[in-house]
Amino acid sequence: MRDRTANNGQGRQMRVLGIDPGLRNMGWGVIEAEGSRITHIGNGVCKSEGADLADRLLSLFDQLTDIIARFQPETAAVEKTFVNKDGAGTLKLGQARGIAMLVPAQAGLSVGEYAPNSVKKTVVGVGHADKRQIDHMVRLQLPGVVIAGPDAADALAIALCHAHHSRSSGRLAAALVKASRSSSEAVAQIKKGAA
């Protein structure tokens, strides 16, 4: 695997795997972010196979494990599950989401989680965007990309959201370190002057 210590807040390269969890179709998208430059690496859809739930989950596990081995991301992001009226459907989606979080964690990746509205607001600018708007904005941010379908577009949007938030938190951390140093230096100067 690649160096997982890369911090995009400092302008270093970061490869991000975005995952849109689903039991039938699990979208995935890999981007590389370096400073403000973002490059598409790959995207697709894992389609579950098997007669029963355990086989379908294992199928998703194996496919996602292969994607991580092939693309070697440094970090991953998964969309949070929303609860709907169909309790059984929500439970199954939660199990697929468990696979989406387990596989990257097992590979030693940190896993970010984002609410659907947060992803939409970050990528489109509004929290209640539809699939067409997400697809359009992903294509604008990744010129020339060929998207494997709506689930892959959502996964790329999740990766873009994670890259954006990682850059922001990296800048914040750097500012806090700088402020802490300045504060320590000011205290030292005050103590020196008092002595």
- Of 152, 165, 62, 162, give the one whose Cα is nearest residue 111: 162
- pLDDT, tens digit, 9 for 90 and up, residues 157-179: 999 999 998 876 554 344 445 55
Structural domain contains residue 120: yes
Interstrand relation of 37-47 and 75-79 (parallel, antiparallel or unpaired): unpaired
Structural domain contains residue 3: no
Structural domain contains residue 97: yes
Structural domain contains residue 14: yes
Least confident of 53-57, 139-143, 182-186: 182-186
Structural domain contains residue 175: yes
Alpha-carbon Rg for the chain, nearest whole angstrom, is 20
Domain limits at 139? 8-194
Structural domain count of the chain: 1
Amino acid sitting at position 191: K
Residues 6+ apart with CB under 8 A from 133: 120, 124, 126
Residues marked active site are found at 20, 79, 151
Taking the complete model, does pTM exceed 0.85, yes or no?
A: no
**What phi and psi values does residue 19 have, to the nearest 5 degrees?**
-130, 125
Percentage of the chain lying above the pLDDT 70 cut: 79
Helix axes 116-123, 150-194, angle to 10 degrees: 80
The CATH number given to whatever domain includes residue 177 is 3.30.420.10
Structural domain contains residue 140: yes
Structural domain contains residue 1: no
Structural domain contains residue 77: yes
